[in-house]
Amino acid sequence: MKTKVFIDGQEGTTGLQIFERFANRSDIELIEIPPEKRKDPAARAVCIHASDVTFLCLPDAAAIEAVSLVQSDTVRIIDASTAHRTAPGWAYGFPELSDAHRNAIISSKRVAVPGCYASGFAAIVYPLVQANILPRDYPVSCFAVSGYSGGGKKMIAQYEEENRDSCFDAPRMYAMTQQHKHLREMKAISGLLTEPIFSPMVSDYYNGMLVTIPIHRRCLSRTINLASLHEMLSAHYENAHFVKVMPLSAETQTGGFLAANPLAGTNEMRLYVCGNDDRMTVTAQFDNLGKGASGAAVQCLNLMLGIDEATGLE
């Protein structure tokens, strides 16, 4: 029997990408909402209740509203918004973090898909805190760059406007007040006691991102060096199909540059351990719309359906 899926917010950037990922899936039946009713709560409620699984690809307020419409014990919700990522009763949709995360996704009726930047951040910081390498009160910094699709339809329109301002030609820093919406999630999921300093940039390409965490050896809970940091992360992700720790010095094979876009269109994340024994960096490279959103959301659905990740189905 086919799994009935409704994508609430299917016309948006994340919703469309999930829709496209189902193009060749004979096991999925998509529930369609009449276009003129796509923001009508009553019509959305009908579609939600006709589904086995509903994806929420909506602004936070609309995602909260969608959850309030659910009157059924059987419908499962996979929410791509920020609204429920640290909410009690919600599984966090990053199965590679631990068996507990994976099992919670498999059994939960409510799964929150990680934020794009938060995915890279948690992939690096969570295992280091768990292994007691980073103390929980380590003053973590994080710098990152994203393609402009990370800002959804509004930002895409700004970047693709014919007569746009020349400032859009160059990378732009933002969130300088340290109030980015992912900060709470970054702290809570990684087990840190304080929020990191987070310095993101958005740049003039569609999708793909890099998220980097600098690590000073003198501030760590136990002594490690570049090789043992690499070994520890490699062991953590040894069995992960979609998260790969790249060989040490892998960045030198690309001429000393790490681009943000090679994994665009995929659900893969690559981790690069760089630097030297005193000053190390770990960088996550992935697609903000893939492992950072739609790919991760579909991966969660696949786990719920018992589809083995080793099939590579994205």
Ligand X SMILES: CC(=O)N[C@@H](CCC(=O)OP(=O)(O)O)C(=O)O
CB of 296 to ligand NDP, least distance (A): 8
E strand or H helix that includes residue 92: strand 91-92
CB of 110 to ligand NDP, least distance (A): 15
At residue 110, φ and ψ (nearest 5 deg) are -135, 115
At residue 78, φ and ψ (nearest 5 deg) are -120, 110
- 116 scored as a contact of ligand X (CB under 6 A): yes
Which are the contacts of 273, defined by CB distance < 8 A and separation ≥ 6? 226, 229, 230, 233, 245, 246, 248, 280, 281, 282
Looking at beta carbons only, is 151 or 265 nearer to ligand X?
151
3-class SS at 75? coil
**What whole-number distance in Å separates Cα of residue 284 and Cα of residue 301?**
23
First-to-last C-alpha distance (Å) of the chain? 20
- 122 scored as a contact of ligand NDP (CB under 6 A): no
117-146 residues near ligand X, rule: CB under 6 A: 146
- 12 scored as a contact of ligand X (CB under 6 A): no
55-74 residues near ligand NDP, rule: CB under 6 A: 57-60, 62
- 214 scored as a contact of ligand NDP (CB under 6 A): no
Site mask, ligand NDP, residues 262-301, x = CB under 6 A?
A: --------------------------xx--xx--------
Catalytic residue among 116, 142, 274, 300: 116
Angle between helices 183-190 and 116-130 (to 10 degrees): 30
> Among this protein's residues, is 57 annotated catalytic?
no
Q: What residues make contact with ligand NDP under the rule CB under 6 A?
A: 8-9, 11-15, 38-39, 57-60, 62, 80-82, 115-116, 149-150, 152-153, 288-289, 292-293
Q: Which residues are catalytic?
A: 116
